[in-house]
Amino acid sequence: MLSFFKSNKYSPATINSTYYIRECSIHNVYDLNLILQPEKKGCSLIENTTIDLKIKNLPILDLSEKKINAVLKKPIYIYDNNELLKGHKVLFYKEDVEFYRFLLQFHFIDNQFFFATNKVSSSGMLSETEKGKIINQITNRYLGINWENHDGCSIMITDQNDSMLTTVDDVYFNVNYLSGGSIKDSLIKKYAGQTDQTDQKSDFENNVDKYF
C-alpha cells in the first residue's frame, strides 16, 4: 500500500516554466469546459459517497490558497494564465513518495479554487497493477470497497457537496478533483458553450510554432 506520509517535497527554484505550462490541465475555455463537465462514458465505476472528498487531507469544497499553503508550503511554480483565461492561476507542487512521483496542480479563477489534479508516475508510465493499487485506496476510503480492475482504470465518485473525483487513464494517470457548490455552477453558467476567449496563443504555443 502506498504511504502518503513520508515524502520528498521539491523546493521552488529557477526552473523552465515551459514544462509547467505544458503540464497544465487547463489552457483555455475549451479545456475548462471539459473539466467542468467530465464525461461518464468509459468509466468502469460511477458511485456516490457520503464522505467529503479531500486532497492532501484538505476538503475540496471551499479550498483556498491560504489553506493549501499552510499544508504544502510554497508552490514550486505559479502559472498566471490570465492571457488566455481571465483570472486563471495555477499552483504547482511536486513530491516523491517511495517509488512514485506526484505532480499536483491547484486551479483558481478570480482567486476561487475550483479544480485540482494529481499526475502520478513512477520511473515511467504506471503499470495496470500500480494504477489498481491507487484506485483501491480511493475506493476503500470513500466507498468502503476493494477495487477489482475488470474494465479499465477510470472511475467517478461524487460526494454530497457535488464535488467530484475522477481518475483519467490516458497517456499518464491522473486523479482529478472538481469542487462542487456555487463555484462550479457559476463557471458552468458563465463558460458553457463558449470557445476560446481569444485567438492569442500562449508563449508555449508560440515557441512550439517556430519548429513546425
User: Given this model, what pLDDT does residue 1 score?
Assistant: 43
Whether 109 shows a pLDDT value over 80: the answer reads yes
Q: Can you tell me the distance from the alpha carbon of 56 to that of 199, in angstroms, rounded to the nearest whole number?
A: 36
What is the arithmetic mean of pLDDT over 148-168?
88
Q: Which region among 97-101, 122-126, 136-140, 149-153 has the lowest average model confidence (pLDDT)?
A: 149-153
**Predicted local distance difference test score (pLDDT) of residue 211:** 60
pTM value?
Answer: 0.84
Q: What secondary structure letter does DSSP report for 25?
A: S
Other beta carbons less than 10 A from residue 105's beta carbon: 23
**Per-residue pLDDT reduced to its tens digit, 66-90:** 999 999 999 999 999 999 999 999 9
Q: What is the pLDDT of residue 10?
A: 55
Q: What is the pLDDT of residue 4?
A: 43
What is the reported pLDDT for 140?
95
Mean pLDDT of all residues in 177-203: 79
The confidence band for 34, taking pLDDT boundaries of 50, 70 and 90, is very high
